[in-house]
Amino acid sequence: MDAHDAELTLTTSETASLLEVHPSTVKRWCNDGELASMKTEGGHRRIPLEDAVAFATARGMSTVLSPFHPYEPHVWTALRDVREKSSFKRLEALAMGWIARGQLRRVGDLFDALGRDPAVDICSLCDEGVRGVMYAVGQEWAQGRLRAGEEHMVSQVMVEVLLKLRSSEGFRPSAVTGDDRPVAVVGTLEGNQHHLGSLCVRLLLESLGWQVHYLGPDVPVEDFGVIQRGRRATLVCISLRPPASGGDVVRAVRLLAEIYESSAPYAVAFGGASLSQADDALLRGPFTDVRVFESCRTFQDALASDFGQPARTARRRT
């Protein structure tokens, strides 16, 4: 288990955030002697995390740390590093320690807490959090320290976290509604049972106001084109399983080109594959745009530049 500060203290604002109350309420509790606190040399109030957790427990208050006893300091430190330093190192180490012990429920609770943190956006959750842990899990499997079934179990935990996040009150899609929403078809290419990447794309698009037709894992490439045409989607997003190559992308592009209809134009986005500069020239076809994205963040940046709209014609790697 990763190290943490054994004498961890919180500011008044941090304590208020943990207990989900106003900072003035925390100050009142401290002044009345109900909540233990101390003052720094500079006169700033500090509340020991241990006392804040005990206070919440005694009052029946549920907090983000409630599921993690006795690891509250580890979890708080990991989440604080993500929030303040954009560092996922502690969080990944914490998750991998629990995975090694078979404590997958804790891993799910950890990522649920991460996803609900307003300081952590969808791209950070997916690019740094989910992808970081799944890469580490893949390395453990490759070295024989995890079985394939265990790797699948961790993947399923992450799927459940993302689906739970999507249905939670904290997930706030764009206010864009009705028929004016842009339409996308999203799924994972045939032969790939892992659909974490495509789920992340789904959440991102929906948060930006897109109407998403989600196909899930293991979808024949022709089906993307058929469903796009039927739904008049302007964007098709296809997730491949790393380490997919440029050849996998080119084959998919050629198959989609064969059934493309100019009356229903669309762009194609691939994720999970790597392309060399030489491969860029192979991304040809009748589409309005074809790109391979290396992360959720670069995909989001492209969407901000109107990627997926019929008027765009550039074909390049992002």
* Residue at 101 is within a domain: yes
Best CA proximity match to 278, nearest among 242, 306, 250: 250
- Taking the whole predicted model, whether its pTM rises above 0.75 is answered as yes
Of 54-63, 177-186, 223-232, the poorest mean pLDDT is in 177-186
Are 185 and 299 contained in the same domain? yes
Collapse the DSSP code of 194 into the 3-class scheme (helix H, G, I; strand E, B; otherwise coil) and give the result: coil
pLDDT at 15: 96
Are 76 and 140 contained in the same domain? yes
Name residues whose C-beta falls within 8 Å of residue 32's C-beta, 6 or more positions apart in sequence.
none
Domain that includes residue 289, residue range:
178-304
Q: Phi/psi at 58 (nearest 5 deg)?
A: -65, -30
pLDDT at 169: 67
Q: Could you tell me how far CA 76 lies from the centroid of its own chain?
A: 19
**Mean pLDDT throughout 57-63?**
95
Are 269 and 234 contained in the same domain? yes
Are 42 and 105 contained in the same domain? no
Kind plus residue range of the DSSP H or E element containing 93: helix 89-100
Q: Give the CATH number, domain containing residue 253.
A: 3.40.50.280
* Better-scored residue on pLDDT, 242 or 143: 143
Are 268 and 217 contained in the same domain? yes
* Residue at 310 is within a domain: no
Give the mean pLDDT of the chain.
89
Place of tokens 């999203």: 186
Last residue of a domain, one of 132, 149, 172: 172
* Residue at 281 is within a domain: yes
Number of domains the chain is built from: 3
Q: Is the pLDDT of residue 173 over 90?
A: no
Structure tokens at 71: 């690891």
Q: Is the pLDDT of residue 316 over 80?
A: no
pLDDT for 91-118, tens place per residue? 999 999 999 999 999 999 999 999 999 9
Are 267 and 207 contained in the same domain? yes
Are 288 and 185 contained in the same domain? yes
Place of tokens 């790697």: 317
Q: Is the pLDDT of residue 135 over 50?
A: yes
pLDDT for 188-229, tens place per residue? 999 888 899 999 999 999 999 999 999 999 999 999 999 999
* Residue at 313 is within a domain: no
Q: Is the pLDDT of residue 314 over 50?
A: no
Are 57 and 76 contained in the same domain? no
* Residue at 311 is within a domain: no
* Residue at 317 is within a domain: no
pLDDT at 247: 79
Place of tokens 């969808």: 122
* Residue at 8 is within a domain: yes
Are 31 and 104 contained in the same domain? no
Q: Could you tell me how far CA 128 lies from the centroid of its own chain?
A: 8
Q: Give the CATH number, domain containing residue 25.
A: 1.10.1660.10
* Residue at 4 is within a domain: yes
Are 42 and 98 contained in the same domain? no
How many CB atoms lie under 10 A from the CB of residue 4?
18
Structure tokens at 226: 């058929």
Q: Distance of CA 263 to CAs 188, 224, 234, 288, Å?
A: 25, 16, 11, 12
* Better-scored residue on pLDDT, 311 or 65: 65
Last residue of a domain, one of 144, 172, 200: 172
Are 159 and 189 contained in the same domain? no
pLDDT at 211: 94
Last residue of a domain, one of 116, 143, 172: 172
How many CB atoms lie under 10 A from the CB of residue 314?
11
Are 38 and 76 contained in the same domain? no
Collapse the DSSP code of 226 into the 3-class scheme (helix H, G, I; strand E, B; otherwise coil) and give the result: helix
